[in-house]
Amino acid sequence: MSASQQTTSLFGELSGRFHKPSGALAPRTPLVVALHGGTYTSAYFDVPGASLFEAAVANRIPLIAPDRPGYVNSLSLAPSEMTVEGQARHLSRALKDAWQRFGAGTSGIFIIGHSIGGAITAAIAARAAEHKPEFPLIGIALSGMCLNTPPEHKPLWEQLPDTPTVEMPPPVKDALMFGPEGSFDSKLVRDSDIANAAAPKAELIDIVSTWS
């Protein structure tokens, strides 16, 4: 059973899922915001057997995971704004709404970002350092980013179809996202299919050709 509650209107015109413990929280408890990577939805953080939401429930930590712009029922931005920096600007504004709706009783917002979501998280933190944000950002955790793209992947990116979104066939995605055989639980690979989604082409091009 999913540990999260899904909604078509989470905050800032974004869909997603959340967990909010009942009653008073322990001192210094953060409001955790989780940003998924490319070709995944917020369900990435609630895959059975590897669920961040299950951990949040067990530890009484409020957790919200929006579907980033262009995913599920979240709004789509213009292609020029679907870059890492463009999404960081939009999500920085949305986090103000998230703080007002979910932040009561917490010590501030802690963002967990994976892959493209990690790059966007880093950009949000950079913006917070330059401009006083309208929400308290107390920390970030990043994974699956700043890796070298294997040279054999370059032709794949160059051959992306001329469409607004790109959907990776499961075998191609598995080879790109997971390590060598034996380094992961093959059951979790298939369980994670619930989070698969087409990705905005603009963010894929930006992350491999510009942002890094």
What is the tens place of the pLDDT at every residue in 75-104?
999 999 999 999 999 999 999 999 999 999
pLDDT of residue 150 exceeding 70: no
pLDDT of residue 200 exceeding 90: yes
> E-assigned strands of the chain?
5-11, 14-19, 31-35, 63-66, 109-114, 137-143, 165-166, 199-200
Q: What CA–CA distance (Å, rounded) separates 136 from 145?
A: 24
| pLDDT score recorded for residue 109 | 98
Name which residue leads in pLDDT, 110 or 49.
Answer: 110
Q: Indicate whether this model's pTM tops 0.95.
A: no
**Range scoring the smallest mean pLDDT among 69-78, 128-137, 170-179, 185-194:** 170-179
Residues in the chain: 212
Take residue 79 and report the two structure tokens written for it.
């292609």
What is the tens place of the pLDDT at every residue in 26-51?
999 999 999 999 999 999 999 998 99
HSE-up (13 A, CA, CB side) for residue 97: 12
| pLDDT score recorded for residue 149 | 66
